[in-house]
Structure 1
Amino acid sequence: MKQRRWHRRVFTGCANCRRRHVKCDEQTPVCANCTRLGQHCSFDLKFVFSKPPKPKAPQRRCRPAGERPDGDTIQSVLDYAIESYVDTTTDLTLDLHALEDQTQPEYQESHNSFGLERSQPTSSQLATISMPTLPELVQTSVASPLNSNQSRYYQHFLFTVSTYLIIWDTPSNSNPYRMLPSLVSSSGLLQNTMEALGAMHLSSLPQTQDRQVHRNEAINIYTNVVTNLREALSSQRAQPDLELLATCLLLCMFENMSATDASWKVHLLGAGQTLQRMYSPRTGLPYGCGSGGQAAEDMPSLRRFLVSLMSYLDIAASCATGEDPIIPGDYWETLGGGWEYNLGVPTFATVRRPVDRAMAQIRSSWSRIMSIQTDISKFAKAQRSGLEKRQREMIQGDLTYRIRNWHDSAPGVFLQLEYLDNIPSDATDEETEALTAAACVYCYALGCAVYLDRVANRRVGSAAFDMEIKATVDRMMTLIVNFSSGVNQLAMLWPLLTAGIATVDTHQQDLCRSWLGNMTGFGFKHVFRVLDTLEYAWRHMKRYGEVNYEVFDALISSNLVP
C-alpha cells in the first residue's frame, strides 16, 4: 500500500467536514462538500462558560487509546488533538478556530490574490502620518518578566498599534488601548495577546527587517494564547470579566489583520458571549475572582470602552455577513452608556474643550447610523430567505425613511458639509477635527443608502442603473478623498468599500486603488482584502457586465471591515 505523504494536521472547515475528517474548502455560506451532499453547512462555534462549580467533582473517565471523541464541536476535536486536561463531558467548552499553518509563505503585499499590481507606500508617505502626543502609560505589573523581543512587541502595540486602532487619538483624549495593562492578571492572556498583535503588525510594515521572523513569533504567541485560553476555560480558572472580554476582542483583531479567511468570527462570538455573561444575573463566584482581573463595576471607563469596541466589530461583522449581530439591540447605548470607542472618547478626556459639544452630537448621530446598519443587515438576511415583492418594498421603504429622517435631523455640523468640498484652509485645529469626524459619519450615512440599494436589488455597480445612487457615490468619494488623511483614513474603509462596489466610473476606481494602495503602509491585511474585493468586482463588471452576486456575497462576508 502506498504510504500517505506527511502533512500538517489542521482542524478548520465546517462542522460536517470536521466530523467526516475531509478537507473543507471553507467557502461561505456553503462549502462545496455540503453543496454536493445537500447538507446544512455551519461554521458556528460555541464559546460556553461553566456553571458554578459543584461541590463534588465528577469522576474522570479514561478514554481507551484510539477512541475518538463524541460530538461535532471543535472542543471535541481539540480534546482529541491535544492532551485534554478535563473530562470531555464537562459543560464548559471553548470552540476555537484552528490556527493558521505556521509554515505558510509570507503574504506578499505587492500583488493581490487576483494577480493585479498594487502600489507600495514609500517611507516618505509613512512619515507623513502624524503621531499624537502619547499619554503616560498606566503603571501596572506585567504577568511575567519580558524578554527583549516580547518587550519590543508589547511597546509596539501600546505606542503604535493602539494609535492605528483608535483612529481619533488626540492629546486630550487618552487612548484606552494604553490603559489595558491595568487589566492584566497573572494568567498573562491579555498581555500575550497584545504582544502577538504587536509582533504581527510589525511583520506587516513594509520597512521592517526580518518580517518573517516577527510573523513566526506572532503566530507562536497567538498559538500559546489560544491554547492557554482553552485550558483556563476548561479548568474554570477564567471567568467572564474585562480581561477576558479584552482578550477575545484583540484576538478577533489579530485574525482580521493577519488572516485571509473568516477566522475572526469565533473570537468575536466569544467576546459577545463573554459580554452577555457579564451582564447576566450572577451565580457562583463574583466576576474577576476567577482570573485575578478587576471586576467590571470597578473600572466603568474601560468597561464602556470595551462595550463600544464590541459593538463596533459586531456591527461591522453584521454588515459583512448580512446576518443579525451577536448581541441584539443598541447595546452600546443600554450597556455602555453611549459611544466610547473613537470620535473622541469622553470618559478618558482630561480637559474640556469648546469642540466637545459638537463631537458629542457627532457620536450620537453615529449611534443612530449603527442602528440603521444593523437593520439593513437583517433585511439582507430576510432577502436570502425569500421575501415577497410587497414585503421587500415595505421594508426597504421604512429603511429609506429612517435614512432620510437621519439627514433631516442631523446636527448643524453636518449641514456645513453640504457647502464644502474640502476643509477650509483657515480652519482651526478644533474645526478641522470636527469637520473630519463629521465627514466620516456622513459618509457612513450616505453609505447606508448605497448598502440598502445593494441589498434590495442584490447587484454590483448600482451607480450605472440609478442616478441617485451615482450622485450619492460621487459625494462619498469627494468626502473620503478630501476630508481624511493619515490615520483618519482607517475610519473610511467601509464607506470606500461600499462606494467602490457601486461605482462603474474608471476614474473613481483609480482613486480607490491609489487611496487603498497608500494605506497598505498601516500594516492591516483587511485593507489589502478590501482592494482585492473591489478588483474582483470591477474585473467581472468589465469582462461580463455583471457579477455573480451569490459568489460576491460569500467573498465579502469573510472580511471584517469596521
Structure 2
Amino acid sequence: MVKPDPDARPKAPAPVRQRRWHSRVFTGCVNCRRRHVKCDEGTPSCSNCTRLNLTCNFDRKFVFKAVKPTGTPDSTSNKGDKTSPTSSEPRASSRSGSASSGEDGTDELNAKASFADLVVVRGSRSPSGVKSSPPGISFISEDFPFSHKSHILPSKGHHGTPLVYKYKATGMPQQIDSNDTLYLHHFLETVSSYLIIYDTPSNSNPYRQLPGLMSNSGLLRDTMKALGAMHIAGLPETRNRQVHHSAAMKAYGNVVTQLRDTVTFNHGQPTLELLATTLLLCMFEKMSANDASWKIHLVGAAQIFQSLYSPRVGHPSTPTGSNSNMELSGVAHTLPLRRFLVSLMAYLDVAASLATGQGPLIQGDYWETFGGGWEYNMGVPSFAQARSPADRTMAQIRQSWSRIMSIQTDISKFVKIEREGLAQHQRDMYYNDLSYRLRNWQASAPDIYLRLEGLESMPVGASAEEFETLTAASCIQVYALSCSVYLDRVNTRKIGNAANSPVISAAVSRILTLIFNFQSGINQLAVLWPLLTAGIATVDPEQQNNIRQRLASMRSFGFKVGDIQLPTSS
C-alpha cells in the first residue's frame, strides 16, 4: 500500500463557479423563464426555443407584483408616513430587473399614501372616501414645477394656464380608483407635453385626444396609466416612488398580456387603439428601460400599421349597408388621430433606423402618403382650433422637416448596405448623393432659415410668433447639420472628426450654438440626437463639458437621460 507523502501539498479546491449576472426575466416564454434566460419573445417561436428545438409556448402569466389593496385614508396616511423614508430612495434598474422589485418589502406601501394631496377628482372616489358616479371625469391640474436657468416650465397647461380636461368615460368602469385617475391625469396634462415637446397655445396636443380611442379592452387606458405612473416615479422630488413604479409595471404587465392574447388568438381586427397602444409602449420603454427593448414594440406597431393599410380579405360590405355607414362614420371621426399616429410611427421608425443602422421598418415617405404630411408636432393642423399668423411659416417648417426625415431614412439605408459590404466607388456614390441632397435642402429652405443664419441667440424682445418660428426652425436646422456630421462619420468610420475637418468642426459649433441659445425648457428634449451626434464628433473639452451639463440638467424632466462617453483628445 502506498503511503501518502506528508510533504505533498494539498490540492487547491476548484474555484466556485460564479453565475453570470443577468436581469430577471418576467415576460418571456415558458422555457426561457424556466431556464432563467432572456427571451426575445419572437413569434411563433423565440430564438432560444428554435435553437434547442423546443416547443415555444407563452402561458400569458406574469409575475409583476402589485400594490396591496388600499385601506382607509386615515390609516394609510399614517402608514405612508412611517414607511416613506425607506421607499423614497430610487433604485436604478431596468424594466425587467425591477418588475418584481417588491421583494424588499417596499411594495407593501399603500398606494394612496401620497395621492390625497396631489389630485382632486370629480366623479370618482374622493380623498375622504365618498364615492360618486356622474357621467364624466374632470381632471384638476397638480403642480410639478421645473426651472432651467431663467425659464420656468409651465406645470398647469399652456404657459401656466390652469386646464380642466373633460371627457366622457366611454368604455371605462363607472367607478375609477383615484390612483388610476391620478396617473391618467398626469399623462394627459404633464407627460403629453413632454412627448409632443412643442406644447404652445398655437400648437395642439393630439395626445390629449387619445381617450377618444378607448374601448372596453382597457389597453390604451392602462398604457396611459403606466406612462403617467412611471413618469411620476422618475421625477426627482417624488416621494414613495416605488409605489408609482410598481403601479406602472402592473399596468404594463396587463397591457402586454392582453396584447399577446389578441395577437396569439387573432382576436379582433387591427385598430387605431392597438396602434396607439403599441406606440405608447415604445415611449414607456424609452422612459423606463436602459436597453433598446422599445424597438420590439415598434416592430409590433409596424405590423399593425401595415395591416391597417393592407387590402381586407373577405366580402366587402355593400355601400348601402349599415355596417358600411358606421365604418365610414368611424373613419371620419378618427381621421385626425390617424394622421397623428402615422407621423408618430414615422418619428419612432426613423429614430430607430438611425440608432440601429438597419433601415426603416416601413419603406417610403409614408407620413406623406398615408398621413398627408407631418402631423406630430410643430403645428398639427388637423387639430388646430384657430388660425395663427405663424401658420404659413410653420407649414413651411413642417415640409422642410419632412424632407429631412426622408434624408435620414436614406442615410440609415446607406449604413445598412455599407455594413453588408460596398466597394469604395459605391460608397463614394452614395455619400456624394446624400451630401448633395443636404446641400440642396439648405439652398431651398424657407426664408425663416435665412433669418436664422444671422442670429447667434434669440432676439431680445422677440414676439410670440417670432419666438415660436425661430425655435422650430433652429430645431430643424440642427437636425440638418447633424445629418451631415453623422454621414461623415459613417463614410470615414471615425469619431472625433471635428479635429481633422474644418467643415465638421464648424457644423458642430453651429449645432451647439443653436441648441444652447434657442432650445430651452421642454424644447431641449427635441434635440437629443443632434446633441449626442455633436458630442461624438467634437474633441473640444469645453464643448464636451457643456454637453454633459446639458444632459445632466435634462434629468429633472423625469426621463432616463444618461451620460455619454465622449471621445477625448490626446
TM-score normalised by the shorter chain: which range applies?
A: 0.7 to 0.9
CA distance in 2, matches of 1:99, 1:460: 33
AA partner of residue 434 (structure 2): L
Counterpart for residue 549 of structure 1 = none
Counterpart for residue 470 of structure 2 = 435
Asked if structure 2 preserves the Cα contact closer than 8 Å seen for 1:242 and 1:296, the reply is no
* 3-state DSSP of counterpart to 2:507: helix
Alignment identity in percent? 53
Match of 1:409 among 412, 420, 444: 444
Alpha-carbon deviation of 1:137? 4.3
Cα 1:281/1:358, change in 2 over 3 Å: same
CA distance in 1, matches of 2:521, 2:430: 38
Match of 2:286 among 256, 260, 264: 256
Cα 1:122/1:431, change in 2 over 3 Å: closer
Alpha-carbon deviation of 1:130? 2.8
Match of 1:218 among 215, 236, 248: 248
CA distance in 2, matches of 1:175, 1:493: 21
Counterpart for residue 543 of structure 2 = 508
Cα 1:73/1:352, change in 2 over 3 Å: farther
Counterpart for residue 143 of structure 1 = 172
AA partner of residue 500 (structure 1): G
Counterpart for residue 469 of structure 1 = 504
Asked if structure 2 preserves the Cα contact closer than 8 Å seen for 1:204 and 1:524, the reply is yes
Per-residue CA shift, 1:450-476, capped at 9, x if unaligned?
Answer: 010111112211111211000000000
Alpha-carbon deviation of 1:236? 3.0
Counterpart for residue 380 of structure 1 = 415
CA distance in 1, matches of 2:34, 2:419: 28
Counterpart for residue 390 of structure 1 = 425
1:33-48 mapped onto 2 (5 Å cutoff): 45-46=42-43
Alpha-carbon deviation of 1:140? 4.0
Counterpart for residue 10 of structure 1 = 25
Determine whether 1:425 maps to 2:465: no
CA distance in 1, matches of 2:263, 2:492: 44
5+ residue gaps, structure 2: 1-15, 63-93, 104-143, 318-322
1:159-170 mapped onto 2 (5 Å cutoff): 159-170=189-200
Alpha-carbon deviation of 1:45? 3.8
Q: Relative contact order (alpha carbons < 8 A, sep ≥ 6): 1 or 2 greater?
A: 1
* 3-state DSSP of counterpart to 1:79: coil
Counterpart for residue 397 of structure 2 = 362
Asked if structure 1 preserves the Cα contact closer than 8 Å seen for 2:336 and 2:382, the reply is yes
Counterpart for residue 134 of structure 2 = none
CA distance in 2, matches of 1:230, 1:166: 28
5+ residue gaps, structure 1: 27-42, 49-68, 84-96, 107-120, 546-562
Alpha-carbon deviation of 1:139? 3.4
CA distance in 2, matches of 1:445, 1:265: 24
Alpha-carbon deviation of 1:186? 0.2
Alpha-carbon deviation of 1:103? 3.9
Per-residue CA shift, 1:286-344, capped at 9, x if unaligned?
Answer: 89x9xx99944541100000000000000000010011111000000001000000111
Match of 2:485 among 438, 450, 459: 450
* 3-state DSSP of counterpart to 2:153: coil
CA distance in 2, matches of 1:396, 1:297: 43
1:36-75 mapped onto 2 (5 Å cutoff): 45-46=42-43, 71=50
CA distance in 2, matches of 1:46, 1:389: 39
Asked if structure 1 preserves the Cα contact closer than 8 Å seen for 2:24 and 2:97, the reply is no
- Rg: which structure is higher? 2
Alpha-carbon deviation of 1:44? 8.6
Match of 1:79 among 34, 58, 65: 58
Asked if structure 1 preserves the Cα contact closer than 8 Å seen for 2:61 and 2:257, the reply is no
Per-residue CA shift, 1:85-120, capped at 9, x if unaligned?
Answer: xxxxxxxxxxxx9955424599xxxxxxxxxxxxxx
CA distance in 1, matches of 2:274, 2:396: 32
Alpha-carbon deviation of 1:142? 4.8
Asked if structure 1 preserves the Cα contact closer than 8 Å seen for 2:60 and 2:257, the reply is no
Q: Which moved more, 1:140-149 or 1:224-233?
A: 140-149
Cα 1:372/1:74, change in 2 over 3 Å: farther
Cα 1:98/1:218, change in 2 over 3 Å: closer
AA partner of residue 143 (structure 1): M
Counterpart for residue 183 of structure 2 = 153
AA partner of residue 58 (structure 2): D
Cα 1:70/1:165, change in 2 over 3 Å: closer
CA distance in 1, matches of 2:517, 2:224: 33
* 3-state DSSP of counterpart to 1:128: strand
Per-residue CA shift, 1:241-263, capped at 9, x if unaligned?
Answer: 10000000001110111001111
Determine whether 1:537 maps to 2:557: no
Q: Which moved more, 1:335-344 or 1:131-140?
A: 131-140
Cα 1:307/1:124, change in 2 over 3 Å: closer
Asked if structure 2 preserves the Cα contact closer than 8 Å seen for 1:135 and 1:171, the reply is no
CA distance in 1, matches of 2:566, 2:403: 30
Alpha-carbon deviation of 1:207? 1.0
1:211-250 mapped onto 2 (5 Å cutoff): 211-250=241-280
Provide the TM-score with structure 2 as the length reference.
0.75
Provide the TM-score with structure 1 as the length reference.
0.76
Asked if structure 2 preserves the Cα contact closer than 8 Å seen for 1:503 and 1:509, the reply is yes
Cα 1:125/1:399, change in 2 over 3 Å: closer
* 3-state DSSP of counterpart to 2:358: coil
CA distance in 2, matches of 1:74, 1:483: 56
Asked if structure 1 preserves the Cα contact closer than 8 Å seen for 2:145 and 2:152, the reply is no
AA partner of residue 361 (structure 1): Q
Determine whether 1:196 maps to 2:220: no
CA distance in 2, matches of 1:216, 1:156: 16
